[in-house]
Amino acid sequence: MFEYFYNEILRSCIIGFGSLFNGLEVQHTNDNGTQSIIQVPIAYGPTQKFLARLQQEAQLNRPVQMTLPRMSFEFTSLTYDPSRKTTKTQSFLTTTPDGSEIKRVYAPVPYNMGFTLSIYTKLNDDMLQIVEQILPYFQPHYNLSVKFLGNLNEIRDIPVNLDSITMDDDYEGNFETRRALVYTLTFTAKTYLYGPIADVSGDIVKKVTVGYSALSTDGSVRTRDLTYQVTPRATKDYDNSLISNIDEDVDLTQTSIKVTNPDGITENTYVYVGSEEMFVEKIVGDSMVVRRAQDNTKASKHPLGRDVFSITKEDDKLIEFGDDFGFNGSVF
């Protein structure tokens, strides 16, 4: 417990929330009918910080002021959500994108993140334009897709609920006081926090060896000593090793199948045709005699010209995490 880890989940959710409101625009129509488009900037920070800047730069004769409209957002709270709790010991396995490592991750813990989005405008019409570009997407929530756990490509949809809207019109003072309309929208993002990620690549069993010993009735003489070894065997072709093509239409029960290149097929090996695995018992002329539907694959009809792929030891090395596989057994 308390080992160092940092999955950057909260940071990813904060960035994802802010990105929802990028690209909002306000349009103004001039007296001559031309339109000007204003991009509404957004920044991370508390509402009071931006209001203080407006008050400090309230003089209308200053050459540079903080321009309106603009928006700010802030991460305000983090609370545990027991209604979404799952079993503590539940875990799942996943792989890195290149398949080189296998990781174990325990079930995440549900937390609610509170956010506030503040919108500042000088004109009421600007405020209405911005609000109408936001509200239709929240009914009352919007699913935000966030990539968790770095390079493990764990992507979750985080519901973002719109909880409330408050309005404030700061229009007191004399004519030199700058007006600021402020709308504050509060949101709740239902996210998950993950614990440390364990590398279990070395825990995957890739070979099993069982020894049998038989003794005489009085236990003095060993009469049989047998070792049985099992390794995973691929049940489909991974490296696209095309060796032949079917030279006739094949039905569901046919076991002698004509091929265009029988010399490329080896007896007592497996081949992959369509989505069906077959075991080649022998080669007779230009036909292969097979056992159909091996390793829980289903027998299928195969048309003339369908590709025949070989399943070799190289495919055994390429078995992907989560794929079904068979077994090679050896007796010593």
Q: Is residue 44 within 8 Å of 19, Cβ to Cβ? A: no
Highest mean pLDDT: which range of 24-33, 196-205, 298-307: 298-307
| Higher-pLDDT residue of 206, 81 | 81
Residue whose C-alpha is closest to residue 162's, from 175, 144, 176: 144
Q: Is residue 280 within 8 Å of 288, Cβ to Cβ? A: yes
- pLDDT greater than 80 at residue 50: no
The confidence band for 92, taking pLDDT boundaries of 50, 70 and 90, is low
Query: Which pLDDT belongs to residue 321?
Result: 61
State the CB neighbour count (10 A cutoff) for residue 51: 17
Peptide bond into 41 cis (omega under 30): no
Q: Taking the domains of the chain in order of start, what are their residue ranges?
A: 9-85+108-196, 234-331
Helix, strand, or coil here: 91? Answer: strand
What Rg value do the Cα atoms of the chain yield, rounded?
33
The confidence band for 63, taking pLDDT boundaries of 50, 70 and 90, is very low
8-state DSSP, 251:
-
The confidence band for 96, taking pLDDT boundaries of 50, 70 and 90, is low
The confidence band for 123, taking pLDDT boundaries of 50, 70 and 90, is confident
- Pick the range with the lowest mean pLDDT from 133-137, 154-158, 222-226: 222-226
Stretch 3-16: mean pLDDT, rounded? 88
Stretch 44-70: mean pLDDT, rounded? 62
| Look-up of token digits 């159909």 | 292
- pLDDT greater than 50 at residue 275: yes
- Pick the range with the lowest mean pLDDT from 97-111, 181-195, 253-267: 97-111
Peptide bond into 140 cis (omega under 30): yes
Specify the long-range contacts of residues 179-182, CB closer than 8 Å, at least 24 apart: 179/122, 180/51, 180/54, 180/68, 180/120, 180/121, 180/122, 181/120, 181/121, 181/122, 181/123, 181/124, 181/126, 181/127, 182/47, 182/51, 182/118, 182/119, 182/120
Find out if CATH 3.30.2000.40 is the number for domain 9-85+108-196. Answer: yes
| Higher-pLDDT residue of 191, 140 | 191
Report if pTM > 0.85.
no
Q: For all residues of the chain together, what is the average pLDDT?
A: 81
- Pick the range with the lowest mean pLDDT from 51-65, 126-140, 161-175: 51-65
234-331 to CATH, choices 2.40.33, 1.10.3210, 3.30.1360, 2.60.40:
2.40.33
Q: Is residue 191 within 8 Å of 14, Cβ to Cβ? A: no
- In angstroms, the CA 300 to CA 310 distance is 18
Stretch 251-267: mean pLDDT, rounded? 92
